[in-house]
Every structure is written in structure tokens, then in C-alpha cells.
């Protein structure tokens, strides 16, 4: 027990563990730990079980690589989806965001990464070969590149588009433009310039 | 699988469980769940074990009622502390904050609540009888009331002070005043007025 941390043992361990959550520092972790112990022990037990079950039970879909508890994720297992479209995203969270829009009916391919030369992540490390094989399967007419609109995401889209087009597969990119609900005055200039070029 | 939640099963359960943390809503919970699954499965397992151990292993000190894994918390078990002072706080988190200041050497009594007539929490529900018994034990010369400086905390301090003084026990209250590091211009007027009255 030191001056800076009067917590000991299990409480200290819980605070340290909670600090591994993104966006949670010492103060938030303390607040969470004390809250759970004082007001919601059932919640703590439930969370322990949910974390264990998720860490053990959630793997990757063998077809699109998103998180899945079964060999095929619900989207890949759904024969009603449009097999002519394949949407490439960086992460399972991106895939979930697209699903939430309820405006895409094709299949997905999750890269689980993006090209980042500085970190030594090349096009091989993000499963490009697998994507090319998947895109060459009968029925895929268009690959929609939905990687992030960051430098690394753009680089990823660029190299994948090159590779796909060289194999005669049509590759498109999500539209860049002004976000819904925003006032032009506050939108950054690069976005406005893109929206102007891509006007329709 | 609905439009608003493409997550299913263990992932959905994990997101729901994480939402029980204070200050964590749907978006943060999603971010946390995806982060743990994609980048820190060890962290998820560690957190599951820490939550389980804390929920099962942490009880209350039988003397001061703070969180403790043993019958007596480290403070109550320390014979070197000053038995003449007893500091009354609302929660174990308050006790930990006081310990961190490293400027108090007496013992504690944790109320695990505060008087709140609107919620039907009276002075009996916050262990006043036990506090009076504890304060009457040989050696206690001063009870420092360190409940919050909110309406409910002040009410708690008031009723406890009355009860203690009627039994001839000296009761003091933490000083109200200008917080360290603040500029007078931005301090609320009630605080300045109190600091003026309590000047020394």
C-alpha cells in the first residue's frame, strides 16, 4: 500500500485490468471499479462471464474474416444477399457500421488491417491474395473498397484497386463528400473540393 | 440480427455488459468490445478474471466498512494509526481519496451512503448507530465529518454532528474554501463566501 494507491490486491488488480479498455485511464478505472463493487456486483459477474465467453467463443468467419461464433458469419451464411457485390472494409467494426446503414445487401471481406509501410504492413499482410481469390469467385461483379479515408486507408484502397483492375475486376470506392447534417462553412476544404469534383 | 445491431450472440452480450460501466454508452461499449476482440484478447481474459475475483473476494472491513479482502482492512489492522481521530466518509472511494493525500493518520468509518430523505434514506440506514458505538470506543477524541459538500452530504454531516455532540464527542467538518490552484475570479460565490467566513 503506497501513498499513491491505497487500493490493494483484487481491487488494485481490477483497476489495472479496466485500464486496458480504450479511453479508460486511472481515474475512470477507479470510478468503474468502485461503482461495480458498491452498486453493481451482478454487473461485474455478468461482465466477467461476457468477457470470458467472447474471448473464448468469438473467432473469425472463414469466408469474410469478420468476428463470428460459427464457421460462417450470419452475413456470409445468408444466401439471400447479393453475390455480385463484395465490400472490402478494414475492421469488423467497420463492417458492423455498414450493416447498420441497412443500405447494402452484398457480401463483405474484412482485411483486419490496412497498408502501413512505416509499420511494415504491406499488401500481403492484409490478405490481398485471399481477397483476389475471393473476388475472382464466380458471381462477383464489383468490389466496393470501403477502407478508411485516411492516408493509410487510401493507400490500401489504391493498391487493392490496382490489383483488382489488373485482373479485370471492377473496383469502386465509397463516395467522398459532405457529411449528412453538416454546414458547408464548417466542412474542411479537402472534403468540399472532393464533393465538388464528384458532384452529380 | 436487426438493422440497428448487426452484432449477435457473445459480441452483443459483451457490448450490453460493458454498458453497465458508469459513463459507457452504446458507442463506447462497441468500441471497447471491438478493441478487446481485435487487439487485446489477453486483456479481455485478464479483465474477466479480475472482475470475478473482485466480485467474489472483496467484502467489507468489519470495523470501518470500506472494501477489504480480509476481515480488517489494512488501515484498521494498522496499530500505528492515530486512534484519537476517526474520519467519516460516504464511500470507499472517498476513503481512498483521503488516503492518497497522505495527510491523515487516524482511522476511518465508511457510511456506504448518505442521508437522503427524498429516497427514504434516513440516519438509521447509513449506520449512524454503529458509528456512535465506534466513536464511543476508548480513545476516539475527534470525529472528522468528511461527507460530500452537497446538500445530502451536508445533511448527513449535520445529523451526525448533532448525534455525536449530544454524546459529548467532538465532531469537526472538513474545511470549505477555495480549491488549490484555482483563480478567485472563477470560483463560485458560495465557496468564496465560506472561505471568507472561515478565514484564518
Q: State the virtual CA torsion across A121, A123, A124, A126 in degrees, nearest 10.
A: 70
- Compute mean pLDDT per 10 residues along chain A, 200 residues long, and list them: 64 95 94 95 96 95 94 94 94 92 93 85 83 90 93 92 93 90 87 85
Give me the pLDDT at residue A2, please: 42
For B153-187, write each residue's pLDDT tens digit: 999 999 999 999 999 999 999 988 888 888 888 88
- A9-46: b (≥16 Cβ within 10 Å) or e: bbbbbbbbbbbbbeebeeebbbbbbbbbbeebeebbbb
State how far residue B128 is from chain A, nearest Cα, in angstroms. 19
Is the CB of A17 inside 8 Å of chain B's CB atoms? yes
Is the CB of B41 inside 8 Å of chain A's CB atoms? yes
Terminal-to-terminal C-alpha distance of chain B = 66
Give me the pLDDT at residue A5, please: 65
Cell of B134: 465506534
A70: left (phi over 0), alpha (psi -120 to 50) or beta: beta
Is the CB of B121 inside 8 Å of chain A's CB atoms? no
pTM for this model (two decimals): 0.83
Is the CB of B129 inside 8 Å of chain A's CB atoms? no
Separation in Å, CA B172 to CA A92, B63, B132: 57, 21, 15
Is the CB of A41 inside 8 Å of chain B's CB atoms? yes
Q: Could you tell me the residue ranges of all domains in chain B?
A: 12-56, 82-173
Confidence of residue B1 (pLDDT cuts 50, 70, 90): very low
Residues of A with Cβ-Cβ distance to B32 under 8 angstroms = 21-23
Nearest-CB residue to B9 (from A37, A69, A112): A69
Residues B6-30, mean pLDDT to the nearest whole number:
92
Return all residues near B16 (Cβ < 8 A) that are at least 6 apart.
A50, B29
Is the CB of B33 inside 8 Å of chain A's CB atoms? yes
Residues of B with Cβ-Cβ distance to A8 under 8 angstroms = 69, 74
Confidence of residue B5 (pLDDT cuts 50, 70, 90): low
B42 with B50: CB under 8 angstroms? Answer: no
Where helices occur in B107-186 by DSSP H, the ranges are 128-136, 151-166
Mean pLDDT over each residue of chain B, to the nearest integer: 90
Element (H, E) at B107: strand B106-110
Residues B91-106, mean pLDDT to the nearest whole number:
92
Query: How many Cβ contacts (< 8 angstroms) between chains A and B?
Result: 188
Pairing of strands A170-173, A142-145: parallel
Question: Taking the alpha carbons of B82, B88, B89, B90 in that order, is the dihedral positive or negative?
Answer: positive
Return all residues near B150 (Cβ < 8 A) that are at least 6 apart.
none
| Pairwise pLDDT comparison (A120 vs B149), residue with the higher score | B149
Is the CB of A51 inside 8 Å of chain B's CB atoms? yes
Task: Give which of B55, B92, B113, B121 to mutate to test A binding, by max A Cβ within 10 Å.
Answer: B55
**pLDDT surpasses 80 at B4:** no
Cell of A53: 465467453
Give the gyration radius of chain B's Cα atoms.
22
**pLDDT surpasses 50 at B127:** yes
B73 with B64: CB under 8 angstroms? Answer: yes
A17 with B46: CB under 8 angstroms? Answer: yes
Topology of domain A82-173 in CATH is Dna Topoisomerase Vi A Subunit; Chain: A, domain 2 (3.40.1360)
Task: Give which of A37, A51, A65, A112 to mutate to test B binding, by max B Cβ within 10 Å.
Answer: A51
Pairing of strands B67-68, A106-110: unpaired
Judged by DSSP in three states, B167 sits in: coil
Mark yes or no for CB contact B55/A67 under 8 Å: no
Taking the C-alpha atoms of residue B172 and residue B150, their distance in angstroms, rounded to an integer, is 17
CATH annotation of B12-56 = 1.10.8.420
Geometric angle at alpha carbon A127, from A126 and A131, rounded to 5°: 130
Mark yes or no for CB contact A43/B20 under 8 Å: yes
Q: State the virtual CA torsion across A97, B11, A132, A176 in degrees, nearest 10.
A: 10
For B114-126, write each residue's pLDDT tens digit: 888 888 888 778 8
A169 with A140: CB under 8 angstroms? Answer: yes
- Nearest of A162, A108, A29, A41 to residue B6 by alpha carbon: A108
Mark yes or no for CB contact A10/B91 under 8 Å: no
Amino acid at each position: 500500500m503506497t501513498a499513491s494507491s491505497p487500493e490493494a490486491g483484487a481491487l488494485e488488480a481490477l483497476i489495472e485490468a479496466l485500464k486496458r479498455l480504450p479511453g479508460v485511464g486511472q481515474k475512470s478505472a477507479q470510478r468503474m471499479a468502485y461503482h461495480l463493487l458498491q452498486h453493481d456486483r451482478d454487473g461485474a459477474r455478468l461482465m466477467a462471464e461476457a468477457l470470458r465467453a467472447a474471448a473464448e467463443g468469438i473467432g473469425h468467419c472463414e469466408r469474410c474474416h469478420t468476428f463470428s461464433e460459427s464457421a460462417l458469419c450470419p452475413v456470409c451464411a445468408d444466401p439471400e444477399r447479393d453475390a455480385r457485390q463484395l465490400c472490402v472494409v478494414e475492421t469488423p467494426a467497420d463492417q458492423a457500421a455498414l450493416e447498420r446503414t441497412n443500405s447494402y445487401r452484398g457480401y463483405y471481406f474484412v482485411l483486419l488491417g490496412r497498408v502501413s509501410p512505416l509499420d511494415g504492413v504491406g499488401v500481403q499482410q492484409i490478405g490481398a491474395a485471399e481477397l483476389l481469390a475471393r473476388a475472382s469467385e464466380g458471381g462477383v461483379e464489383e468490389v466496393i473498397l470501403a477502407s478508411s479515408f485516411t492516408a493509410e486507408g487510401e493507400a490500401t484502397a489504391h493498391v487493392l484497386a490496382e490489383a483488382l483492375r489488373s485482373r479485370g475486376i471492377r473496383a469502386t470506392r465509397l463516395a467522398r463528400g459532405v457529411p449528412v447534417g453538416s454546414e458547408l462553412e464548417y466542412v474542411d476544404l479537402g472534403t468540399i473540393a472532393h464533393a465538388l469534383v464528384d458532384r452529380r
